[in-house]
């Protein structure tokens, strides 16, 4: 089931009405109800994979109890290793088996060996990358003794499968979400108000901005795959830039829109989810970008991969190695395809280069070192490498990427003029809101308006979705991960 499907509002209305009727004193019954609702939510997509979700839940619940009860460090290491290997094996089989088999066969054929390796038509369970990392955070943190194991199987099952963030995050830590599940929730007026804002803003970003930007991007990237006669270019002038820019707007509004909706739903239910996006297109450099983009993933990779690899505690060369390796694996997490690996590796190189420059300077600069003009200069300049990264992840081949990078000019064709006009027409609300959020340093600044202003804002967003929202629901981009 998707947030932007026509059936979801009815589903949530029923879930919410029963949830409120049960009351916070019966929060364990509320948990059981939310667990059932979460399995229904996931089962609507494909009930065959409910067993995988249940298997991961049962395995890590039992391992968590064993980890907490044992003082034998060798046994505890074997148990946490079992959890990691079991979860990553399931993830690897469903997500990466076909990719590695095809890549191996292609390599062997290139060096002269005729390879006929077995292939399988494997359906990727939606959200498996998200809930795998989420449940791993539990067993690893219990192993590290950073949190106690829980004896509440229903509560733990809800932590793994909670429907607002089950299929596309944010990737919640057990140490953060599980205590909220195992205690009564307070639904305050502040939570409801901010939850409704996040819901409206998330749906607006998805249906009005992301889906229209996707139309522009998809048509141009599709044209760039056509095989035309020699001397005939599928794109001209500013059209390659327009294609990448449209995708950049699409992926941000699509994914951050989903995260906003998830956080909004959670607030209405009395929960607090991790902030997943913090104005990433105002980043001044690579490290700043990853402190703002998909925060739940970047911090997960930092805490459970980068630091265990040694982080920045070893030699300078090892620090650079760790930074690059973590980003390359982060790219692989996004998808079983070379564009994702190259995209992650590209960002790894950017982070290493930034670190080399900072090490040469001998100190980490802050905003005061640059001033307002310097800050905005860095923001604008960083858009160049960022757009190149977006082109890497969107292009279907190296040839298409090279074409996009080498066929840029300042000529404004009719198609480019129409495409830029479409982007401007639908994205100006995003620009205004995010400029206000950036300068106020307050992501909830729209809620600081007077009552009349807030009412007008909500009315405008709802009317905007009714008039301009894409009628046929478009799947969220990150569902494929």
Give me the active site residues, please.
334
Exposure string for 259-268, b = 16+ CB within 10 A, e = fewer? bbbbbbbbbb
Residue 76 burial (C-beta neighbours within 10 Å; 0-12, 13-18, 19+):
buried
The DSSP element (H or E) to which 81 belongs, if any, is: helix 73-110
For residues 197 and 192, give the distance between their C-alpha atoms in angstroms, rounded to a whole number. Answer: 9
SS3 167: coil
- Contact (CB, 8 A) for 39 and 167: no
For residues 425 and 238, give the distance between their C-alpha atoms in angstroms, rounded to a whole number. Answer: 18
> Rg (Cα) of the chain, in Å, rounded?
23
For residues 58 and 138, give the distance between their C-alpha atoms in angstroms, rounded to a whole number. Answer: 13
For residues 301 and 308, give the distance between their C-alpha atoms in angstroms, rounded to a whole number. Answer: 10
Q: Among 254, 213, 253, which residue's Cα sits nearest to residue 434?
A: 253
- Contact (CB, 8 A) for 328 and 344: yes
Asked if the peptide bond before residue 145 counts as cis, ω within 30 degrees of 0, the response is no
For residues 166 and 37, give the distance between their C-alpha atoms in angstroms, rounded to a whole number. Answer: 12
146, 150, 154, 160 alpha-carbon torsion, rounded to 10°: 20
């Amino acid at each position: 089931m998707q947030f932007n499907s026509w059936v979801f509002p009815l589903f949530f209305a029923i879930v919410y009405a029963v949830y409120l009727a049960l009351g916070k004193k019966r929060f364990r019954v509320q948990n059981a109800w939310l667990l059932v609702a979460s399995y229904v939510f996931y089962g609507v997509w494909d009930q065959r994979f409910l067993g995988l979700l249940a298997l991961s839940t049962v395995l890590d619940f039992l391992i968590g109890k064993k980890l907490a009860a044992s003082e034998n460090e060798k046994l505890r290491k074997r148990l946490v290793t079992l959890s990691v290997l079991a979860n990553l094996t399931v993830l690897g089989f469903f997500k990466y088996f076909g990719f590695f088999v095809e890549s191996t066969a292609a390599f062997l054929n290139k060096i002269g060996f005729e390879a006929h390796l077995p292939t399988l038509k494997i359906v990727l369970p939606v959200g498996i990358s998200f809930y795998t990392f989420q449940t791993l955070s539990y067993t690893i943190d219990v192993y590290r003794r950073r949190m106690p194991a829980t004896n509440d199987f229903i509560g733990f099952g809800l932590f793994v499968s909670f429907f607002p963030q089950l299929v596309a995050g944010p990737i919640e830590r057990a140490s953060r979400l599980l205590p909220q599940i195992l205690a009564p929730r307070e639904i305050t007026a502040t939570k409801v108000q901010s939850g409704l804002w996040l819901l409206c803003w998330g749906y607006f970003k998805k249906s009005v901005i992301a889906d229209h930007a996707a139309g522009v991007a998809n048509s141009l990237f599709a044209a760039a795959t056509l095989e035309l006669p020699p001397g005939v270019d599928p794109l001209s002038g500013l059209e390659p830039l327009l294609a990448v820019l449209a995708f950049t707007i699409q992926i941000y509004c699509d994914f951050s829109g989903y995260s906003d909706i998830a956080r909004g739903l959670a607030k209405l239910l009395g929960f607090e989810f991790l902030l997943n996006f913090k104005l990433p297109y105002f980043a001044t450099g690579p490290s700043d970008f990853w402190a703002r983009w998909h925060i739940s993933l970047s911090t997960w990779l930092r805490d459970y991969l980068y630091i265990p690899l040694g982080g920045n505690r070893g030699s300078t060369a090892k620090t650079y190695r760790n930074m690059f390796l973590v980003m390359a694996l982060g790219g692989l997490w996004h998808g079983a395809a070379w564009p994702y690996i190259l995209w992650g590796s590209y960002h790894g190189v950017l982070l290493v280069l930034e670190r080399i420059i900072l090490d040469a300077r001998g100190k980490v600069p802050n905003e005061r070192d640059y001033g307002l003009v310097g800050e905005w200069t860095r923001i604008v300049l960083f858009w160049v490498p960022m757009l190149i990264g977006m082109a890497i992840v969107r292009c279907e081949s190296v040839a298409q990427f090279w074409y996009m990078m080498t066929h840029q000019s300042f000529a404004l064709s009719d198609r480019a003029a129409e495409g830029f006009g479409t982007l401007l027409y639908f994205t100006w609300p995003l620009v205004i809101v995010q400029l206000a959020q950036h300068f106020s340093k307050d992501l909830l600044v729209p809620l600081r308006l007077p009552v009349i202003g807030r009412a007008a804002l909500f009315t405008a967003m709802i009317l905007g979705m009714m008039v301009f929202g894409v009628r046929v629901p478009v799947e969220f981009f990150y569902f494929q991960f």
